[in-house]
Amino acid sequence: MTATLEPTSVAPGGPDRQDGKPAVAARLRSALRVLISPKYGPVLITLALFVLLFIVGGVRYTNFFSAQVLLNLFVDNAYLIVLAVGMTFVILTGGIDLSVGAVVALSGMIAASLLQAGWGPEVVIPLILVLTSVLGLLVGLMIHVFDVQPFIATLAAMFLARGLCYVISQSSISITDPTFVQLAVTRIPLGGGASITPSVIIAVVVVAIAVWVLHRTRFGRTVYALGGSEQSGMLMGLPVARTKVLVYVVSGFCSGLAGVLFTFYTLSGYPLTAIGTELDAIAAVVIGGTLLTGGYGFVLGSVLGVLVLGLIQTIISFEGTLSSWWTKIFIGALLLVFIILQRVLTTRRR
């Protein structure tokens, strides 16, 4: 009893400060540990970057600090958010999907040509989602059964999808279907003059489902486990084969959905559209803090990555004098910084 009371009785003011100091330091140290951990570090840095960019934009340009500028990031990049979600699944397992841009173009072409032929959107959209999922399934099987590198298998899928676009049509097909047009022009007011499109709602729902799947289901756990170590996953009796194939199905489905959202945005199908979109999606995922070797990362991080890319584009268009090719250079530079960051964070851990 006396022993426990002794410290407080000796110096009433002192212990508080003595206890407080280590507590603050420990908290600081644990905060620092979170910041340099490969799991949370990159995401937090991306978040800080996003806020910083937004503040810089707001200080430099008038009319930048508005809800609509922020919401337009979602409106303009809804399809990229959906793509990045699919890509996150693939990269979490340590794979990569180069076919997503071509699949976006392909689903746009299928939509435009079938709608032109008089099919209804209630048939066309499910059909596209099924077809792109099947393409993802084939890619997954090629990777798993024949042990082909993801890079090469998805490259083949990219050639196939892009080639099929040209087979369907070599020129742009415009979409006049009333449902599609309606979905393209509909604005959902959020109050204060700000509004979003139905595509944004779809994208947000996809993100929510993806977060739930990755963190609350066995499939999600297995995806993370595969990225950590496929060998250990196999030894633990996890369904490695099924999961490895399924992530490419998820990516195929997301690419198809992104293609549909992209047609809501452009109201046409064009075989040369979305060239290089796979790089944007990969860049968004990497900037969003997902480790390219797999195992670490969050879907919400990827969304943040897409928003940072969108913000860079917005700032460049607000700047006016900067030409559009600066976007590519900035994205490349950002990619470099984040990849080096990942490298530093993972080596320190080992």
Partner 1 sequence: MSALLARIVGSRLFWPIVMLFVLFVVNLIAFPGFFSITIKDGHLFGSLIDILRNGAPTLIIAVGMTLVIATRGIDLSVGAVAAISGAVACAIILGSPNPGSPATVAVAVLVAIGISLVLGVWNGFLVAVLGIQPIIATLILMTAGRGVAMLITEGQILTVNSPPFKMLGSGFWLGLPVAVIIAAVLFAAAALLTRRTALGMLIESVGINPEASRQAGVRARGLLFGVYTFCAFCAAIAGVILTANTAAADANNTGLFIELDAILAVVIGGTSLAGGRYSLAGTLVGALVIQTLVTTVYTVGIPPIATMVFKAAVVTIVCILQSPRTNQALGSFRRSLAVRAGKGAAAS
**C-alpha 329 chain-centroid distance:** 20
Residue from 156, 184, 211, 234 touching partner 1 (CB under 8 A): that is 156
| Number of amino acids touching partner 1 (CB under 8 A) | 47
User: Under the criterion CB under 8 A, does residue 327 sit at the interface with partner 1?
Assistant: yes
- Options 68-76, 149-157, 200-208, 302-310: segment touching partner 1 (CB under 8 A): 149-157
Could you tell me the two tokens for 18?
A: 């003595």
Residue from 34, 56, 159, 208 touching partner 1 (CB under 8 A): that is 159
CA-CA-CA-CA torsion sign (294, 299, 301, 304): positive
User: Under the criterion CB under 8 A, does residue 130 sit at the interface with partner 1?
Assistant: no
Question: Between the CA of residue 251 and those of 82, 86, 145, 175, 255, what are the distances in Å?
Answer: 9, 4, 18, 25, 6
User: Under the criterion CB under 8 A, does residue 287 sit at the interface with partner 1?
Assistant: no
Binders in 177-216 for partner 1, by CB under 8 A: none
Residue from 216, 218, 343, 348 touching partner 1 (CB under 8 A): that is 343
- Options 69-77, 104-112, 302-310, 332-340: segment touching partner 1 (CB under 8 A): 332-340
User: Under the criterion CB under 8 A, does residue 335 sit at the interface with partner 1?
Assistant: yes
What are the helix (H) ranges across 195-239?
Answer: 198-216, 218-228, 230-235
Per DSSP, 112 falls in state H
The answer to whether 251 and 89 have CB atoms below 8 angstroms apart is yes
3-state DSSP assignment of residue 282: helix
Residue from 14, 30, 332, 349 touching partner 1 (CB under 8 A): that is 332
**CB count in 10 Å sphere of residue 243:** 23
- Options 206-214, 230-238, 256-264, 275-283: segment touching partner 1 (CB under 8 A): 275-283
Q: What's the min distance (Å) between Cβ of 323 and partner 1?
A: 6
The answer to whether 106 and 281 have CB atoms below 8 angstroms apart is no
Q: Which is nearer to partner 1, 26 or 340 (CB)?
A: 340
**What does the per-residue mask of binding to partner 1 show for 86-115, with x meaning CB under 8 A?**
----------x-------------------
The answer to whether 100 and 90 have CB atoms below 8 angstroms apart is no
Report DSSP letters for 304-337, one per residue. HHHHHHHHHHHHHHHH-SS-THHHHHHHHHHHHH
**What does the per-residue mask of binding to partner 1 show for 52-91, with x meaning CB under 8 A?**
----------------------------------------
Instruction: Report d(CA 319, CA 311) in Å as an integer.
Output: 12
Q: What's the min distance (Å) between Cβ of 252 and partner 1?
A: 15
Residue from 32, 340, 348, 349 touching partner 1 (CB under 8 A): that is 340
Q: What's the min distance (Å) between Cβ of 158 and partner 1?
A: 8
**What does the per-residue mask of binding to partner 1 show for 160-179, with x meaning CB under 8 A?**
x-xxx-xx--x---------
Closest CA to 18 of 311, 63, 10: 10
Q: Which is nearer to partner 1, 53 or 339 (CB)?
A: 339
User: Under the criterion CB under 8 A, does residue 283 sit at the interface with partner 1?
Assistant: yes
Q: Across the strands, what pairs with 188?
A: 196
Instruction: Report d(CA 298, CA 288) in Å as an integer.
Output: 8
3-state DSSP assignment of residue 250: helix
Interface contacts to partner 1, rule CB under 8 A: 96, 142, 145-149, 151-153, 155-160, 162-164, 166-167, 170, 271, 275-276, 279, 282-283, 286, 292-293, 323-329, 331-333, 335-336, 339-340, 343, 347
